[in-house]
Structure 1
Amino acid sequence: MEGAVTRYRILALVVGTLLVLLTIGMVLKYGPTDMPELAGITAPIHGFLYMVYLAAAYDLWRRTGWPLSKMVLIVLGGIVPLMTFFVERRIVQDARALGGANAEASA
């Protein structure tokens, strides 16, 4: 399960960073500066990686057996700016705690 946690963590940090850049790019695009370049570059990359992030999040959710509400929190983490970083930290802590409990139970 540690591989699923690592994949999720890397993708969450990358998607979260791209979402912050995309938010800045949208402000630059629709604000008084009229600079659409940053949004034009980051939007498709964020969109593609968000789909990969969802697949990694689903894999982690399926392996842990968490309730659907936790999956909803993970999904929202990728579309609300800055929320990704807080959700990622909590999910990784919970997954590692669950993995440690499972390892102790099987030993």
Structure 2
Amino acid sequence: MNNALVRFRIIAWIVGVLLVVLTVGTVLKYAADEETIVALVGPAHGFLYMAYLVLAADLARRAKFKLGFTLLVLLAGTVPFLSFVAERVVTRRVQSARPLVGSAV
């Protein structure tokens, strides 16, 4: 499950950064009639958000997340800065459920 968590963390950060850039680009598009950022970053964010959905769903399946929590994590890639929060919450949840290496039970 460690590999699934690493993949999720990487894509969550990439999608989060692109969404923040896209948000700035959208403001510039309507405030200054500058469409370059949206034209470049929009399709990239859309494609990578689909990868985010797949990787988040894979991690949720492996970690046995409840459906409601999984849906919130999946939607986190659509709200600026929320994917960063989701990444931290998911990482803590997965790491707290994993036993420590070498611990006696």
Q: TM-score range by the shorter chain?
A: over 0.9
| 1:1-107 to 2 correspondences below 5 Å | 1-31=1-31, 33-100=32-99
Q: Structure 2 stretches of 5 or more lacking a match?
A: none
User: Which portions of structure 1, spanning 4 or more consecutive aligned residues, are displaced by more than 2 angstroms?
Assistant: none
1:100 Cα deviation after fit: 2.4
Give me the CA root mean square deviation: 1.7
- Equivalent residue pairs, number: 104
Normalising by structure 2, what TM-score?
Answer: 0.92
Structure 1: how far apart are the matches of 2:23 and 2:39? 11
SS at match of 2:78: coil
- What is the deviation of 1:104? 6.0
Quote the offset at 1:80 in angstroms: 0.5
- TM-score when scaled to structure 1? 0.91
Unmatched runs of 5 consecutive residues or more in structure 1: none
What's the CA shift string for 1:13-43, capped at 9, x where partnerless? 0000000000000000111x10000011000
Q: Deviations over 1:66-107 (max 9, x none)?
A: 101111111121000111111110101101111227x969x6
Cα distance in structure 2, aligned partners of 1:16 and 1:56: 14
Alpha-carbon distance in 2 for matches of 1:104, 1:4: 23
Contact between 2:20 and 2:80, CA under 8 Å: does it hold in 1?
yes
